[in-house]
Structure 1
Amino acid sequence: MKRVALFIGTNIAILVVLLIVTSILGVNNYLDETGTGLNLTHLLIFAAILGFGGSFISLVISKWMAKRLTGAKVIDRPNNEVENWLLQTVRRQASRAGIGMPEVAIFDSQAPNAFATGMKRDAALVAVSTGLLKNMNQDEVEAVLGHEISHVANGDMITLTLIQGVVNTFVIFLSRIVGHFVDRVILKNEEGHGLGFFVTTLVAQIVFGILASTIVMWFSRQREFRADAGGAQLAGSGKMISALEKLQKGAQEPLPDQMASFGINGKKDYGWKMLFMSHPPIEHRIEALKRSNPQ
C-alpha cells in the first residue's frame, strides 16, 4: 500500500504542477478549438509530449538516480578478489549476451538484492548488494548477474519506458476529456475552463493512473520471468533456481520505491495486491524455471 500511496501522491503533484504551468503559459487556449469544444488532435499531441517526455527523462537519468538512491559505488579498479570476480563474470556474460560491458557497482544493504538500469544496452549499470555477496555463493551470484544482464540484453528499460509513456499519454488525454465533459455538460460552464474542470481532471488523473499502473506492473512481472530464463541460460538453470530459493528464504529489504521495479527481489504480497507488484512471487518464478527446465 505504501507504493500505491506514493504513486497517488506523485500523480497529484505532477498534475497540480501541470495544470498551473499550462494555465500560466496559456496552453489551454491551444487545446480549446472553439471555446466550447476540445481540439482532440492538439490534446493528444500535448498529452504525448508530456507522457513520453517524463518517461524518457527518467530513463536518461536512471543510472545517475540509481547511484544516488542506493549509494552504489562503481568498481573502477577491483580492490579485492570478489570485485575482480564480479567484473570478470559480468564481462563474460555481457559478451555472451551480445551487449557492451556495463558498469558494475556494489551498494550497501544487508538484504540480498541486485538491479540493472541505464538508457543504452551497451552502457548499462549492474549493481549488487553487499548482502547478496555475503549470503550467496558464487554460483548463485553468477545466476543473479545473469538475470540482470538479461534485463539489459532484452532492452527491458527501453520497453518499460515506452509502455509507461503510452500509459501516461492516455491518462493525461482521457482525464482532460472527462474534466472538459463535466465542466461543459454537467456544470454548464460555457466560457473557458472553470474549477470543475481542474478538480475533475485531477480526480480522473488519479483514478486512470491507478488503473493504468496495473498494465505497467503486468509487463514488469512478465519481464522478470524472461530475465530468469535468461539467467538460467547464462549461468545454468540449477544456479538460477538456487539463487531464487536463497532470495525466498532471506530477509527482504526492498529497494527505494523509485528503483523497486529494477531489482531482482520482490515483495511477498498476494491477492489483489499482485496487480501492483513489479515482481511475481518468487515461488511462481521457481515453478516457471522448473517447468521449462525439467530435471
Structure 2
Amino acid sequence: MVTFEVIKATGERETFQLSKLKRSLSNAGAQSNVINSVIKDLEDTGLFTDGMTTQKIYQEAYRLLKKKSIRIAGRYKLKEALLELGPSGYPFEILVSELFKKLGYATKVGSVVKGECVSHEIDVLAEKDDEYLMMECKFHNRQTHHCNVTIPLYVRSRFVDVKNEWIKQPGLQHKTHAGWVVTNTRFTTDASDYANCIGLKLLSWSFPKNNGLKDLIGRTGLHPITCLSVIDRSEKQVLLKNNIVLVRQICDDLQLLTRLGFDRTRAKRIHKEATEILNLT
C-alpha cells in the first residue's frame, strides 16, 4: 500500500496506519476474512489517498460492515455511539455506573454528599471492599472536545472537601478514598500530568491502556443503545429520556419498547438488532 497522510478530527495530519484500522475492526469482533474484505473494498473506493479524513474512512468502513454483520457494525460504532448519548450528561453517568457495577462495585448516581465545607452533587459513587470512589463524569458530544487541566483541578478541590468529611465517619474513615474523572473523549497532556502528580484517577476512551472505556465496554458487553443502527435520532432520545441507556436493557425486557410507544413490528426489529449486537442469537 502507498504511504499517505490522513486528517484527524483535530485537524492534525498523520501517516495512515493500516494496523490501527485492522485492530479497530478486530476489536469489534470481525474475523480476518471480514477485515480483509472491508479493506479491499475501501481500497477500491479510492479513499486511501493523501488528505482523506479519518472520519470519512470510518464512515465508509461502518457502511461496509453493516452489509456484512449488524453485530460487528454496532460494536465498531462504539466511539460515535458514546458521543450520541447527549445532550445531557446523565445517560453517560448511568453507563459509567453500570460499568463499575459490572466490575463488582456498589454504585449510586447523582448523590448529594456532605463535604467538610459544603455539600456536593457527585455524579457516581462506587464502593467495593475497602475502596470508596468519587467520580466526576465529563460528557462531550464532539471528539475534538477534550478535558483540559481545569477539570482535574476543579475535581480535586471537591474531592478533598468530601474526603475530609468521609474520614471522620465511622465505616468510611479506614477506607481507601479516590477521586476519578471519567470522559468519553480524551484528556490533554497537562490534565494527565496534573492528575498523575496529585493521585487523581483518569478514565477516558482509550486510557488507561487496555482498560479505557472502549476496553471495559467490550469486556462487559455494556454497549449503549446509541450503537443500534435501526433506530433514528428521535427514537434514541425517547429511550435515553426514559433512562434506557444499555442495549442489554432492551434484550432483558421484551415488552419495554411497546410500553414506550413503539409499535410491535418496530419493537421486534429493534430487539433483533439488540440481540445480534450482544451476540445472544
Give me the TM-score of the superposition, normalised by structure 2: 0.30
Q: Which protein, 1 or 2, shows the higher relative CO under an 8 Å CA cutoff with sep ≥ 6?
A: 1
Of structures 1 and 2, the larger Rg is shown by 1
Q: Would you tell me which structure has more helix in proportion to its own residues?
A: 1
